[in-house]
Amino acid sequence: MNSASLHQFSTLTVILLMLAFYGGTYLLTLGIRKKKEDADAFMVSNHRIGFGIGAASMTATWIWAASFYAAATSGYTYGVSGPIHYGLWGALMILFIYPFGRRFRKLAPNAHTLGELIHARHGSSSQLILALSNVLGSVISLMVNFTAAGALVSVLSPLSFQAGVIIAGVGVLLYTLWSGFRASVMTDFAQLVALMAIAVVIIPAVFFAMGGPSELVAGLDNLTVEQADFFSMDAILHQGAPFFVAVLAYAIGNQTISQRLFAVNEEHIKPTFLTATVGYGAIVIGLGMIGLMALTLGIEPLNGDMNNLIPQMVSGYLPPVFIALFFILVIGSLSSTADSDLSALSAIMMADVYGKNLARGKANPQRMLLVGRLTMIVATAVGIVFASFSLDILVMLVFVGALWGAIVFPVIASCFWDRITNAAFTTSVLVAMVMFCLARFEWLPLDGATGLLFELLASIGGGVIIGLMAFGFLGRAMGFLAGGLALLAMLVFATGFLREYTVLLASLTAYGTSTLVCVVMSLASRQERFDFATIGERVGDYDQAHAEPAAAPGQAAAPTSATLAGQR
C-alpha cells in the first residue's frame, strides 16, 4: 500500500459522474421553482421547514469536505481518541445553538439572520461585525470545498485541479441560484440519504477488506503509548480542547446554522438539532475510523499528503464501483455545504446589508432577490478563483475563528441582559481580536508577567465557555456556579502551563477579553435599559403576502424586560 498509486478513472467517466450528480440535483430543484419567487422563501423558506428536512439539511451542511479528510487525519495522528475528538465536538457545535436558538426565535420569530436581531438590539456597527465574520467564514468555506473538489478530481482522473474546481462551482451555483435556501434544504435531504447509504457501505467494506476486527486489534502494537491511550493528553490539548473551545464560536457565529434555526418550524427546533447532532457525530466518527485503521496497519499517506489517506484506502482495498461511490460521497458532502454557504451569503447581503442598512427598513423584495442572486454569482466566482490558486487559507481561518470566539459572549448576553450596550459590544470584539493576535502570533513574549496576563484572560475565557454551556441547558444559577468552578480550576492548573499551547491560549483569550470588556463597559454605562419587546417589532418578513405579525402587544414571542427578569 505504501508504494501504491491511486486508482484513476478516465476523463469521460469523471465528467459523466459529475454531470449525473449535478444534473440530477438540478432536476430535483425544478419541482420547487416558482414563477415569482419571494424574498422570505429565498432566505428561510417562510420559516416553515419541517423536522425531517431540517434535521437532514443541518446534518448534510455540517458534513463538509474537511470532515472527511480531517476526521481521518485525526484518527491517524492521535490514535484511538482522534475520531472521538473530531466527531463529538463537531456534533456539539450543532447541539449548543439549540438552547440559545430558542431565545433568538422568541425575540425575533420572523428574522432571517442573527444579524437582523443584533441590528434591532444594537444598531448597524454591531450587526456589521457579525455580518463580516459570517461573510469571511462562508467565503473561506466555499474555497475549501471547491479546493477539495479540485483535489479529488485531479487525483482520481486525468483532469486538472482547476477543472474540478470550476465544475463543482458551476454545478452548485446552477441548482441553488433560482430558489436559494429552498433549493439548498431540499437537495440536502437527498444528498444526506446518499451520503448515509454510501457511508454505510464503504466504511465497513474498507474495514473488512483490511482484515476486520482481528487485524485492527493486532495492529494496535503499531501505536505509540499516547495514540493507544483513549485519554491521551496530547490529543486533548492539541485537538480536543481547541475543538471544544470552538463549539460555541461556530454555533453562534456560523450563518448556515442560524439560517436553519430561523427556517425550521419553531416547535421542531429541539428534535431537529438533537437529530442532526447524533447524525453528524455518527457519520464523522465512522469516517475517522478509516484513519485509525490505516495507522494500525502502518500505512503511510501517499506523497506524505494526509488528504490522500481516505482516497488511498478506498482505492487500495475496494473495486472501481466502490471508488465511484466514494467519489459521489465526497462531491455530495462538499456540495451540500457549498450551497448552504451560498444561501447564507445571499441572506446576509439581502437582509443585513441591503435590507437593514442600504434600504433602511424599506426594502423592495424583488430587489432583494436580485441582490441575493448576484451575491451567489459573485461568491461562486470568488470561491473558484481563490480555490484555483490553491492558497493557504490557514491564516484566514485563524482570524475568522477568533472573530467568532470574540462575539460569542456579546451576542448571547445581548439577548438575555438588558444592560449590554452597542459600544460595549463593538469595543469588546475589537479589543478581543487584538489580544488574540498578540497571543496567537506571539507578538508579545508569552513569559513572565505577560504570559501570566494572557493565562488569566484565558482562564476567564474557560470559565465563560463552561458557564454559558451550563446556562443554556440548566439556567442562570447553574451557569454562574459551573463558570466559577471552571475559572478556579483554570487558575490552578493553567497558570504557567497554558502558554505552551498558543492555539488554545489565544482562543480562550478572545473569549475572556470580550467578556471582561463587555461586562465592565455595560456596568459603567448609564444608558437606559433595553426593552426586548421592541426587537420583534423591528424584525419582520419582507414579503407582506407571507408575513405574520412580528410582535403584537402582549405576544409571548417577544418578552419584555420585565418578564425577562424572572426568566432562568
Helices (H), 177-211: 181-209
The pLDDT value given to residue 251? 80
Q: What is the rounded CA–CA span in Å between residue 119 and residue 535?
A: 9
225, three cell numbers: 503509548
CB 281 within 8 A of CB 90: yes
Could you give phi then psi for residue 527, rounded to 5 degrees?
-65, 145
Give 264's strand partners.
49
Cell of 75: 484518527
Per-residue pLDDT at 562: 33
Residues 464 and 512: beta-carbon distance below 8 Å:
yes
CA distances to 179, 377, 382 from 346, in Å = 11, 10, 14
Side chain identity at residue 114, one-letter code: L
CA 58 to chain centre: 10
- In the block, cell 445581548 appears at 414
CA dist 430 → 252, 270, 343, 518 (Å):
17, 33, 27, 11
Nearest to 326 by CA among 189, 164, 195: 195
How far apart CA 509 and CA 503 sit, in angstroms, is 10
Residue count of the chain, please give it.
568
- Convert the pLDDT of each residue in 447-473 to its tens digit: 889 999 999 999 999 999 999 999 999
Distance of CA 522 to the CA centre of its chain: 29
Per-residue pLDDT in tens (0 to 9) along the chain, 568 residues: 444 567 888 999 999 999 999 999 999 888 887 767 789 989 998 888 998 899 989 888 888 766 777 788 888 989 989 888 888 888 888 888 888 989 999 999 999 999 999 999 999 999 999 998 889 888 888 988 898 888 888 888 899 989 999 999 999 999 999 899 999 998 888 888 877 877 788 888 888 887 777 777 778 788 888 888 888 888 888 888 888 887 788 888 888 888 999 999 988 888 999 999 998 888 888 888 888 888 888 888 877 777 778 788 888 888 888 889 888 888 988 899 999 999 999 999 999 999 988 887 688 989 999 999 999 999 999 999 988 776 655 555 556 777 788 999 999 999 999 999 999 999 999 999 999 999 988 899 888 899 999 999 999 999 999 999 999 999 999 999 999 999 999 999 888 889 998 888 999 999 999 999 999 999 999 999 999 999 998 898 887 534 444 443 333 333 333 333 333 3
Exposure on the CB side of residue 77, measured as CA atoms within 13 A: 21
Q: 11-416 sits in which CATH class?
A: mainly alpha
Pairwise CA distance, residues 117 & 411, whole Å = 10
Taking a C-beta distance cutoff of 8 angstroms, is the pair 271, 423 a contact? no
Which of helix, strand or coil describes residue 516?
helix
- Domain locations along the chain: 11-416, 417-530
Angle between helices 82-95 and 241-253 (to 10 degrees): 30
Give Cα 375 distance to the centre of its chain. 20
Q: What is the pLDDT of residue 509?
A: 95
pLDDT at 86: 83
* Predicted pLDDT of residue 5: 62
Give the rounded percent of residues in the chain with a pLDDT score beyond 90: 40
Closest CA relative to residue 458, chosen from 492, 407, 508: 508
What local confidence, expressed as pLDDT, does residue 3 receive? 43
Three-state secondary-structure class, residue 49: strand
Of the CA atoms within 13 Å of residue 261, those in its CB half-sphere come to 28
Give the pLDDT of residue 23.
92
